[in-house]
Amino acid sequence: MEGGGGSGNKTTGGLAGFFGAGGAGYSHADLAGVPLTGMNPLSPYLNVDPRYLVQDTDEFILPTGANKTRGRFELAFFTIGGCCMTGAAFGAMNGLRLGLKETQSMAWSKPRNVQILNMVTRQGALWANTLGSLALLYSAFGVIIEKTRGAEDDLNTVAAGTMTGMLYKCTGGLRGIARGGLAGLTLTSLYALYNNWEHMKGSLLQQSL
């Protein structure tokens, strides 16, 4: 019986040693101290080099010759639509204010509601048309200047805004052209200053150091 038990243990030990379960094993602490010469460190959870998981390139594949940022032509549609919607909302609020002011002596009735509604519709369409026309002129001048100069910078923004103001007020004579150009120059200059404020502040801090 003892011999049979001994032979069984020997057989089991032999099979365990064959499959790598028997014999002197190494703990995780022992294996952790072994230097991996010439090998990349692997993730303890994934059998993948972590450096392959870092994306150094853009996620999107751009066509040949395409810019990483949208140009003025792509932004023109958003600009025109946004200005029209903003003008319509502002005009509707202004029309409501004017309607309530002009009909304050009237009692709440159907004629007063109709008059207020007409004022809201008229003012909304007027402001939407005005801001939409300005956005259209600004976008058109911006695209033309960008294609002509072959560059996209704040100079295009200021030039497009100045030319938009001059053309929009051209019916008022030379004085109207000057006022429109000055208004466009001022607004676009403030916009360019706002966009570059962080860059300018960082440059000033570097110069002070």
pLDDT tens, N- to C-terminus, the chain (209 residues): 444 444 444 444 444 444 444 445 555 555 555 454 445 555 555 566 656 666 555 555 555 655 556 677 888 899 999 999 999 999 999 999 999 998 888 888 888 999 999 999 999 999 999 999 999 999 999 999 988 988 888 889 999 999 999 999 998 889 999 999 999 999 999 998 888 887 777 777 777 76
Contacts of 112 (CB under 8 A, 6+ apart): 103, 106
Instruction: Of 137, 139, 156, 138, give the one whose Cα is nearest residue 148.
Output: 156
pTM: 0.62
3-state SS assignment for residue 103: coil
Name the strand (E) or helix (H) holding 44.
none
